[in-house]
Amino acid sequence: GVEYNYSTDDVFSNYRHDFNDKALDKEDNVNIMGIEFDSFRDMKNNFNFITDNLKEEDVNVIFADTVYVQVVPKDVDKFLSVQKVKKLLCIENQDTIAFGDSENDIEMLKNSDISVSMGHAEERIKRVSNKVIESSENIYGFIREFLK
């Protein structure tokens, strides 16, 4: 996929041009527009404005971080990417472990065989996970224990 990062000042002036006009024609490519804010407060104050202005579009607006929002096509999520990678590697029948900590990880966590969220994640992220670990620094330890 292609990712675009903008300040809040130029989000909508660039939206039509970059998100739609630069759309890739290839079936497996997806455009994602990333909007990075100066602070969580700035993102929170602008979130409704963004969703209201994009409600006619066929997109989802997702909190990806405390200062970052992603705008993605409605039929795209991280689990779809996991499925495509598994198909590409001819491992469709193998189990997957997904790690996540934000709203853009929910579908991947809900649909993976084993899902692990970080301790700092919101409760709704933790609820869809099989396990919660303290932080991303503990991923290696989790995998090492899992493979024993």
* Cα-based angle 131, 132, 135 (whole degrees, multiple of 5): 140
Q: What's the pTM?
A: 0.63
Q: How do residues 82-131 score in pLDDT, each as one tens digit?
A: 888 888 888 888 888 999 988 889 999 998 999 999 999 989 999 999 99
Rounded to the nearest 5 percent, the helix, strand and coil shares of the chain are 45, 25, 35
Using an 8 Å Cβ cutoff, are 88 and 104 in contact?
Answer: no
Q: How do residues 2-52 score in pLDDT, each as one tens digit?
A: 344 444 344 444 433 344 333 333 344 556 677 778 888 887 788 878 888
Using an 8 Å Cβ cutoff, are 105 and 114 in contact?
Answer: no
Closest CA to 22 of 46, 1, 51, 48: 1
